Copies of this chain bind each other. A is one copy, B any other.
Amino acid sequence: MKNASICDCEVIHQEVVSRIQAQMPPKADLARLGALYKMFADSTRINMLFALGYGEMCVCDLAVLLGMTKSAISHQLKSLRLANLVHSRREGQVIYYTLADEHVREILNMGFEHVSE
């Protein structure tokens, strides 16, 4: 009984499990996918991404729009930047942020459709 350690069931559908195991993408890919979705899994970041989807904004614009401190916004922007979901460009003291690419917009819209029944 090789599965005794994790599962005491006797009705394991071994053919199904084996077949699906063979089809599963590499674990590392799925971990990266989880990490990607984690960026969308927060109200503040969703708001920021949607806002940036409508146009370029600086940190202060986002702070005013969402009623949050520059610090909080900046921390989240850093996460989004590291995840390659937004790009930034500096103009003097002001740093403007935009969505990184159309893919980000597509992911947002796809989920939004599902939420809108």
Most buried by B among A6, A38, A47, A103: A6
Name A20's closest neighbour in chain B (CB-CB).
B54
User: Which chain B residues border A103 with CB–CB below 8 Å?
Assistant: 113-114
Report whether over half of chain A's contact residues are helix, strand or loop; otherwise say mixed: helix
CA distance in complex: A47, B31 (Å):
9
Q: Tell me which residues across on chain B come within 8 A of A51, comparing CB atoms.
A: 20, 24
A contacts with B, residue count (CB < 8 A): 61
Indicate which residue in B57, B70, B112 contacts A13 across the interface (CB closer than 8 Å). B57
This chain: copies in complex: 2
Docked-complex contact A64 and B110, CB < 8 angstroms: no
How far does the alpha carbon of A113 sit from the alpha carbon of B8 in the complex, in Å? 37
Chain A residues with CB under 8 Å of chain B are: 3, 6-7, 9, 11-13, 16-17, 19-21, 23-25, 27, 29-34, 36-38, 40-43, 45-47, 50-51, 54-58, 60-61, 63-65, 67-70, 93-94, 103, 106-108, 110-116
Contact of A30 with B54 in the complex, beta carbons under 8 Å: no
